[in-house]
Amino acid sequence: MRILANKCSVALVVVGFCHFTFSVLGADVVLNEVMAVNHTTIVNGGKTPDWIELYNTTSTPKDLGGMSLSDDAALPRKFVFPANTIVDGNSRIVIWCDDDLGAPGIHTGFALSATGQRLTLYSADAVPKQIDAVEFGLQLQDLSIGRVPDGSGSWQLCKPTPWMPNSAQQLGSRSRLRINEWMASSSAGDDWFELYNGDSLPVALGGLTFTDTPTEPGKSIVPALSFIAPLGFQLFWADQKPYLGADHVDFKLGAGGESIGIYSGSTALDLVNFGQQQTDVSMGRLPDGSATFVFFTKTVSPGESNYMLLTNIAINEVLAHTDLPMEDAVELLNLTSNQIDISGWYLSNSENEPMKYRIPNGTVVPANDYLVFYEYQFNSQSSPTAFTFNSAHGDNVVLSEAKNGALTGYRISQKFPASANGVSFGRVITSVGTDFAPLISPTFGVDNPQTVAEFRTGKGAANTGPQVGPVVINEIMYHPPDIVTATSTNDNVLDEYIELRNITSSEVLLFDPVYPANTWRLDNAVTFAFAMGTKIPPGGLILVVGFNPQSNASQLAAFRAKYNITDDTRIYGPWSGKLSNDGETVELLRPDVPQAPPHPDAGYVPYVPVDRIKYSDTAPWPVQADGLGPSLQRLNGNSYGNDPANWFANMPSPGRDNAPVQIASVEVSDSRFVMSFTTFPKLAYSVEASDSLIAPSWTRVAEYPATPTPQQRQFIDTIAPNQNHRFYRIVATAAP
């Protein structure tokens, strides 16, 4: 682009794609820096919100009162600055893009988009006038965009510097960009492809074009101020909907075969041609950026490093939050009866940077045995790629196979969330495979050491069971029967609920007693933060719903009446989001101790898992809970929750004990006791009898094996002469 300008006019001669930011000439206060993906760099109120920095270009203080910020041109007053919001001369002010009014500073009430948007600063006039605006595309985690120099320069990628002069981030070369993976036939949704940056620096994508037709290289333009991370990946949706964001392109992919190219003008930076594609199978380079293309059947990885799974070895346990005499540790498990030589392989906490710790020559994992790596090995001060695990935000363990110093593309990785001090995560065997969850206690071999040197002598050991409780997700009504009228069928979101149960004999506080503003919360499918002071009594049950039970008395009354919920059952809400009818993850989290100075995350509040259920509407999860009336109910609150074998479908029982059986009728005559009842799939049943409820001695008198579908059962018992009473109970257990 060439710009010809004088004081009176501006003429533009445009070649190719250009992007403009608009500001009033000589504006006193301007947009100066924007961070749309703040994950770890800047903490405010224990969180890491997006933020915007304004700059006063004059030497005199300015009052922002009445001015406004918006990400929606139709709502210029989306956020209005309070009166007497003063910015000193040649100074900066930071505005937090969240709705956490309890945290310090000014809060817009809206967040920024990582995939691009337009942000505008308006005047305080009755009819707001645009003072400044910036339109950006794909943003990078923990990097900002800003004017260099402050207040007057062009926008570019920056290192985050709130309240300080902007600092430009060095950029890499576009020549190492590669089309890395794609899926042209997906049963789950739109086509997609992935771009890989082989440079060790971020690369600017703005102005480049994508195409599926090499004769039309400019088919889909990447918006300006778009970037890709160093050695990073960017997913693009091939859905012909570029208006949805900078990660959407204006074409689709052909499952019968075609091309994908990225161009700078008429020059192809990369162009791949592919043939017939299989449904739900991706194709791409292995390793990333290489010249070898393969099909990925079980390791489809949009937006992440390409890989094939190592099948002979597993990441068995990880300890990430420690104080001496313990330190971070990773335990591997050899799944075979032969030793595995892992000399020259790599251990890392990043799939994008897998070659951090080179495993020494001569390292062998014994057959069907364990091997532990300790922090002193992978966090050596002499290594430029030393690392530790991030226990506050959660992290990843990556083990990559290598030969002759080069990665083969085969690896295993295990992500884990934030962890409490001394709590390890490990493999948990379930009825459908393996899970990775907090364990009852670490098992690295020497787990009550007096010194760190003693801890490091541990050679690994079998994992303990998973932690369960003190509060569990006990019942999930994710798909109440739809609301059907003569003209429509609507999802019944108001009758959804989640039931929590305190499985202990003590009261559980749903807040940190030392920092009472930090409360427990539900996350993932729906989000809800409990109020300060919330408690669950011993063995107690509480419900969380999608409506506001405090302000919507009529809906609360209808909800209690529908499910026959007593007034003493506490109901909380509203949550944000909804429970997917197709299956989703529900998490219960509790706040850990805030990060303390001088930690870079000082003030950040980690949230660690208490319970996590990834339910589904397909077998082996009970399918009767998918819109047919029953809810999902936990069979045993003291057993691991994220396992379909520990759940059954039954008629809703919010605020009451789950009952994995329905008794239809009971008939008693002089000589016979007859009980008819319904059993549920995947549960084995037995009827037990006792002649007394005072120190009862239960005797099993009938057994009913598990069945794949609900069954009508009948139990008949003979009443002995002169027998005045007898007691019966039905016991349900998960089938092996």
Residue 717's region, left for phi above 0, alpha for psi from -120 to 50, else beta, is: beta
- Whole-number Å distance between alpha carbons of 344 and 363: 8
Q: What is the pLDDT of residue 706?
A: 84
Q: What band does 735 get if pLDDT is binned at 50, 70 and 90? A: low
Pairing of strands 364-365, 220-221: unpaired
Note the pLDDT of residue 16. 35
Q: Count other Cβ atoms within 10 Å, centred on residue 144.
A: 29
Residue 86, number of CB atoms within 10 A of its CB? 12
Work out the average pLDDT over 546-555.
Answer: 95
Name the more confident of 554 and 15.
554
Mean pLDDT of 364-371: 97
Mean pLDDT, the chain, as a whole number?
91
CA distance 99 to 402: 47
More confident site: 204 or 691? 204
pLDDT at position 11:
30
Per DSSP (E only), the strands in 566-617 are 570-572, 576-577, 585-591, 607-614
Mean of pLDDT values over 440-453:
96
Q: What is the mean pLDDT of residues 315-328?
A: 96
Give the three-class secondary structure for 453. Answer: helix
CA angle 470, 471, 472 (to 5 degrees): 125
DSSP for 279-307, please give it.
TT-EEEESSTTSS-EEEESS---TTS---
Confidence (pLDDT) at 345: 98
In angstroms, how far is CA 525 from the centroid of its own chain?
9
pLDDT tens sequence across 211-242? 999 999 999 999 999 999 999 999 999 999 99
* Domains of the chain (ranges, CATH numbers): 2-168 (2.60.40.1260), 175-223+230-296 (2.60.40), 308-455 (2.60.40), 471-650 (2.60.40), 662-734 (2.60.40)
> Would you say residue 543 has pLDDT above 90?
yes
Residue 357 scores a pLDDT above 90: yes
pLDDT of residue 586: 98
User: What would the two tokens of residue 60 be?
Assistant: 């005199």
- pLDDT at position 489: 86
Residue 7 pLDDT: 29
Contacts 24+ apart (CB under 8 A), 131-134: 131/23, 131/24, 131/27, 131/29, 131/30, 131/67, 132/21, 132/22, 132/23, 132/24, 132/27, 132/29, 132/30, 132/31, 133/21, 133/22, 133/23, 133/31, 134/21, 134/31, 134/34, 134/225
The H or E element spanning position 555 is: helix 553-563
**pLDDT tier, 14 (very low <50, low <70, confident <90, very high otherwise):** very low
pLDDT, mean of residues 554-563: 95
Residue-level pLDDT at 434: 96
* Dist CA 629 CA 486 (whole Å): 20
* Percentage of residues in the chain having pLDDT higher than 90: 79
Residue 591's closest CA among 537, 543, 529, 539?
Answer: 529
> Looking at the predicted structure, is the pLDDT value of residue 440 above 90?
yes
pLDDT for res 3: 29
C-beta of residue 412 within 8 angstroms of C-beta of residue 397: no
Q: Tell the burial category of 494 from Cβ atoms under 10 Å away from its Cβ (0-12, 13-18, 19+).
A: middle
Confidence of residue 650 (pLDDT cuts 50, 70, 90): confident
Q: What is the pLDDT of residue 734?
A: 63
Of all residues in the chain, the percent with pLDDT exceeding 70 is 96
Rounded to two decimals, what is the model's pTM? 0.74
pLDDT digits (tens, 9 = 90+) for 65-116: 999 999 999 999 999 999 999 999 999 999 999 999 889 999 999 999 999 9
pLDDT at 25: 43
Longest C-alpha distance within the chain, in Å? 113
